[in-house]
Amino acid sequence: MTRKSRAGDAIALAWFKSSYSDGPDGETCVEIARAPGAVHVRDSKNDDGPTFAVGSQAWGAFVMYGAEA
């Protein structure tokens, strides 16, 4: 996993991108950042673009569902 922080955030988030991410552009992936009670998600190609957050339980359910598929 790679890690990046976004400067200027009120709370600096440590962003992680899967080492398995790859695609035709070489950068096709999402990044996540964990915070107390939430997981933030963004497009890895756009550090300054929009982000969204989901609750930790919802993220856990999403990851578990994906592992079963």
How confident is the model at residue 2, as a pLDDT? 43
- Annotated domain spans of the chain: 2-68
pLDDT (0 to 100) of residue 45: 81
Q: pLDDT at position 40, please?
A: 94
Residue pLDDT, tens place only, 9-55 = 446 899 988 766 666 666 668 889 999 999 999 888 888 889 999 99
CA distances in angstroms from 58 to 24, 39, 54, listed in the order given? 30, 9, 6
pLDDT in tens, 57-68: 999 998 887 666
Q: So what's the pLDDT on residue 1?
A: 42
Supply the pTM of this predicted model.
Answer: 0.69
Q: CA–CA separation, 67 vs 61, rounded Å?
A: 10
